[in-house]
Structures are given as C-alpha cells and as structure tokens.
Chain A
C-alpha cells in the first residue's frame, strides 16, 4: 500500500531580519526530516519547545512552504509556492492546541462546521447543514449545539468542535498539534478516546505532535523524536519506548515523572535515608 504522507529531506530556515543593533541571521528550524506514513496509522512527533515539531506540522499542513525537500500526499508531489490548490486543501486538516483560541467567538458552531464545505465544495446549503448535524453527533455533541457560540462550551467540547471541523472534508490525514495539552486529565481521556474511535471508524491517519510521553505511548503506532530540528530517533512505539537508542530520548524518559507505586516507594526510601544521614 502506498503511503498517505511521504516527506523527504524537508528543511525550513527562518531568516531573522537584522536591525541597527543586531546582524541578520538564519535559524534552521527543521534540518532534513524524512518519513512516510501509511493509512490508518498514528505517527507521534515528540520533542521540546523549539525543536521544530510545530514548524514540521505547519509544513505538512501546507501552511508554510518548506525551504527545500519534498512532500508527497497520496503519492502526489505537493508544490504550494503559488498557493494551495483546492483539492489539496481538502486532504490535509489540523487541530490546534488551544481550543479557546482556534474558534472564532462570533461564529456559530454550525457556521464553523459548514464553512469548510462552503469554501471547498459545491454542496448545497441543506446538505451542508445535514453533514454538520451528523458530524456533531459523531464527535459526541448534540445537534441542538448547531446554533450556539463557542463561549457556551467547555474546553473539551471546543476541542471536539475543532476535531469535527477538521473532519468535515474527509481529509487524507489529520495533524494534531498538542490537542490535549490544554485540557484537564479527565477531559484529556475523553478526547483521546474520541480520536481512537474516529480512527477506527474512518481509518484516519494522524500526525500527533506532543511533548507528553505518556499520551504518546498510549496513542502512537510510530514515534519520532526531534531535537534541535533533527530527527534523532524514529521507530515503532514498542521499539522506541522499550529500547531507546539516542541519549536525548533516554533523557526525556528519565525526566518524565513516574506515577507508579514502586517509584513512589523508592523515592520515599531515598528520602528517609537522606534524612537519617543528615540527622
């Protein structure tokens, strides 16, 4: 089977303009990233702030053009230097981190959901509305939410709306940029379940950007670890979590807080020992 998304040697440089006090220089945000992703799979991109994971997300979502390298979607090479063709725009959708910032406060939910159809298809209004009702139910909301405004929803509900909007055009793949990091633990579990259900139902392909390793371990099929714009480790979830190769991946794992009973017991024992030594 041919991959849904293929990326080869992708780079992105940002030119930081000089001023009276500072010389112009170039930031290499992404330095040669290659991967391919098959239908129905989830690729998790892990790294810290500034590692280039969001820049990568913007490039595969066709928001920013890459400095060099190729993006192939459904086997076709993408060239967006002269704008994004409509049929391509439909294939890629994104869900952002902050559900409070990514919905227009003056737009009713119904309009949020039908707008992608209005812009990208010739569907008549009645059919658009029908599709929006269906989608609301799919993501666990009610049809009567159609006429409400974003401020009437909680953070978790807004993230459901953002996911619904992204799915309106039946995209080939979905980029999820930290979709649960702004949510409470209980709501996070609901959204992760929803994403898993939708993936099963529609055979969706996800590029899941996250810094939270416990979430990644739960949702990913493949894991890609980025560090200063480079991919330092890429493999199946079990390979990366079971036997990390790169030092940075190991550092990430040891830094992640552990909430199991054995770790707590070990910590308390260390603490008691220290107290004894100093006493």
Chain B
C-alpha cells in the first residue's frame, strides 16, 4: 500500500518536470529509492523531448549520416565535413520556435547565440548565419510585431557578434499564426587539427565552468519546448533566456584561443537544459563519471536551489574538461577576455554523476541507465484521409502577364529586402554572392575555395503530402547549391512539426523523414547534424510538417561561380529540364483560385522517386557546364515556376528579354508556372556552346529567346512589361501584404 502511495507521490513530483507515468516507473527502477529534487529535475530534463528525442529518435536514424567527406556526423555539437587543404566546415541548425513566440526578440537572439556556440565550441570560427522564418499570414498586429521582434533579434545578435547573415527565407501563412518557425543555421570554418569534440575523459581532469553567471532564466526551457501552447502560456516569460551578444563575442574569441591549448580535453556549450545536458552528455560520451560542485557555480541570484542551477538556461556559458596542468593557462585566457572561469568539478571513475553542495552529496545519478532507460516512443501513426481537392486548374481568365505580376507582388514572392537589410551580410569580408541569390557564396581564402550555403523549406507541399514535401525540400537545397556552381557536400535539418501525440501529425512526421531519406540517398548527401522541434501547436492546432534543410557545397575554383544576375545584352535564354506542366499545389494554383489554404489546390510535384533521379542528373550536368564556363548565369526553377525564375534573373541583371515562344506555349500556363523539379533557367553568351554542352550531358532544354533591352516580351509581337514595372511589383509587397513597415 505504502509503496503505491510512494509511487503516486513520485508521479506527482515527476509531473512538475514533465515526467509521465511510464517514465516515473523507469525513474523508480533506475534509482531504487525516492529520488531527490535535483535528481528528478535532471532526469526530467534529460528525458524531455527536447533532449532525449524520445519521439523522433527511432526515425531519425533513417536519415543517411555517413560519407567520405564527413568528419563528424550527428551526435556532436555540430556536423563537420572536410573541404580539403586541412580545413573543415562545421554546421548545424537549431530551432527557437517556442521562445520566439513568447518573447520574439530574445527568443530569436538566443537562438542565434545558441547555434553559434554549437559551432565554435568545436573550434570552428563561425563565418555565416542563415535563417528560416515562418510567420502568420499577415494583416494582424501580432504577426507584424512578432516578425519585427524576431528580425531585430537575429540582427541584434549576429550583427553584434560579427557573423554575417548571408542567406535564408521568410515565409507567411496562416498555419503559423500561433506557432511561428524560427530556425537558425550557423556555419564555421575549422582547421581539422584543431577540431574539438565533446567527449570527456581522463579521471582526475578538471571540469571548468566558463562564461556568464547562472540565473533563473530559462529554467525548464527544455520542458517548455516539449509541449504545446495553451491559452495564457504566452506569459511564461521566465522560461525564455536573455541574450548578451557582447558576452557571446568574448566567449567566441576566448574559445578560439583555448582550442589551441593541448590540455583542453573537451568542450561543450550549455544549451538546452544547461549544466544538466552538458555534464551528462560529456561524461556519458566519454564513459566516465563526473562530480559537480554546485556551490562553486557562479550565481546571479544567491538563493538558487541545486535543481534550478542544474536546469538554468542562462546564455553564453560553456563547460570544459581540462587537464590539471593546463588549468591555469586556460583560466588565464578566459580572464583576459573578462570571463569567469571556475573549477566546478572533476572527472571521476565509475559511471555516476555526483552533485555536491559544500562537499555534501545532494544528488547522484547513474549515467548509463539515464541514457539506456531514456524513453523511446513508437507513437501511433495514422494516415490522413486523402482529400481530393477537386482542383481543376485554370487562371480565371488572366493572361500570363497578369498572373506573373500578381505572383511577383504576392506575399510568397515579393521582396524581403526590408528583412535582410537588417542583417549585416558583409562583416568578415567573405561574402561573394549577390543578394537574393540561390545560395550564399563565401570566400574561403585559407584554402583557395568557395563555400556555398543554403537553407530552405517547402511546407506548402508537405502540408498536402508529407513525403513529397520531404523530397522537395532536399531537392530544392540541392538545386540552390548547384545553381551557383558548387558541388553539394552535406546537409543539416530541423524537423518542425506539431503535436506528435496526434497520430496524423506523427504519420506526417515519419513520411517527411522518409521523403528526405529517399532524396538524400539518391543525391548522395548525408545529414551530418540536425534538430527536432515538436509540439508546435496551440489549442490543438498543429503547424504543417515543416522540415527546414540546410546544405553546404564546395567550389574548387571560386572564380567559376555564377549567380542569377550578371546577364549581358544578347545572351541566349534557355530553360533546362523537362517541360513545365505541374500546377498542383503551385503558387500559380493558389493565386488563380484565390485559395490560400494549403492542401486545397491539388497535389504537389515530387510524387514519385523518379523525380529525384532526374534532379540528380540535371544538377550534375548543370554544375559541370557552369564549371566549364558555358553557363554564364543560372537560377533554379522553384516557387512560381520558370517565368518567375527568369524574371528574378532579369531584375538581378537589370536587363529585359525578348522571348519567342510559339502561340501554343504562350497559352500553356503549366509551361510558364509549373513547379516540376529538376529545372533551371540558364543564360550564356554562346548559344552554340550551350546547345553542345547540354546535348553532351544528355539534358533536355528549350531555347526561349535572348537578353535584350529593358522590357520582358514573352512572344513575338506581345506587349512587353518594363523592368520598372516588374521591380515595382516585387518591392513594396511586404508592406502591402503583411502590413509591415518602417517603425515596426
């Protein structure tokens, strides 16, 4: 009887830390006694969705992770790929969706700070930031102010710490009205011999705490990010951390010095669940025990309890394992950067994490069971009943030109200038690419190469068919990297989804992964790092599956890169790839039907695996022709189809074009606006060479016309649209559509 009562009490206490009934049973089994408060807190955090990936772990392993150039795969602070010359690129993506809803500025800023630390904790100097943002459909103040806060927060951190934000995307849809998506990716450059891992080791080595002091901010942040929002949750401000980019900058510079120190065994950022996850992960990976002296941790508030210290997510902190001989030198480096470095524990034999307060044990957790008993769910999945939207197509009588102008000025395609102008793109002096291009291109002068980076999502497709959406997003990143002339190297992903306890959501989640798996296998790319953000739901409304995928590509010769701009008068304009026809779930379909709701206008492309194979063939061919100098300007065909890609190229070049398509083509809206995959618009000086090259690669193409003047003419004799008019459509859309303007 009393045993039952004890268990009941455990469940009540466990619930405070997000532990469910089954999980409390595991706690009982693991501890064999009544757990103390701090122990429950540590277990709750480690077994939260955020830290344990208990829902997704089973499925994440489906994503390919290895590869010739992969130095570090998933499981480290960031993934690392070799780019030759003794250098590597470390990169990872992270979400800060929940905090950015509650406190947009701080949520976004700390998201950027956190992902930067993941990269520089490995000894890599961050050289680029990217972000993917999804907000509500616009028109309401909530969306405007959130967007303003998030954009300012990203700039506030990145600009100050001095890492350029070089690419990204900002999308709007009602599906994100209550749960926004804020994903940030960081890319760092590392001399491979200076690469640092997070594996603790060496009994007797010292555990050093570095950085800002520990406060109550972010306590239970990992638990918060593992649940949906209910009414009133927006006021849970104490779960959001506060950013200090100046401290982050000092930490960055100090860490860059410290990684050169021989006696530094391991280093890890205190991210989600702070001291808890860093100490547990470092010792578990190294197969050693650890002792932490909590009374030595620098505190912002004197009366903090052990469980609060273990759970705090105060920013700009690192945990280091250092050989005793190096301790003084390491501490001196941090002190020079005006950072506190304190000895807070040691590496021990055995497999326990011992927590002490003034020499007295306040908690002791067995590390191996903490990992092995970590919950693993195979949640119920159920396929959504297929809805035949009955989409018939048709433009509602609009001409091609009318549709084009409507699309360009619409919320999905209009210029994001007002967003990205708030990000410093130039600091570091590496950016080579033009704004608005397919991928950011960075000068890696250390080894004479170029690095292309891109970040994308395709929830419009995923909302209809999760698997197609998963395939499409990987293919989009591939095309973006190819379009600048780079060879894609590897990927990182952030899977944003709703409440996984909803079988439909869970089904979509798995389908998304399967789609991404298929595409990455065919394209020969692996995922070297990643993150999952579940429970993006409010009062039962989940966001659609929103996988955000980032990629890096290498340019062996940076002078051979191209952009979507730079076309010259007289150049030939060609479309490469199958003839466009797929209008289901396209921007065209949404625009012409007036239906904003995703999933209501037919099925997306990438319905078959063969679509991916074509993607590979065309991507490789186009890249070779760029490398060979035959293609002078290139843009992939994505949202809005071929004509939109073409116009974006003309605007970037400041030139018009005279196309000469047949009457039948002119009237075929699938030809202009279809979103079939594996396609590019290319321009070049020498039509003969282009034809020869494309035929040599066995790629289908169509000559559309030539670059000419300052008007776009679609067929012989048709009325042209001036560049100015096209530009006018693209600019100003954000203000009109989102109600976002100066002052916000």
Is A bound to B?
no
Q: Using CB atoms and an 8 Å cutoff, list the residues of chain B in contact with chain A.
A: none
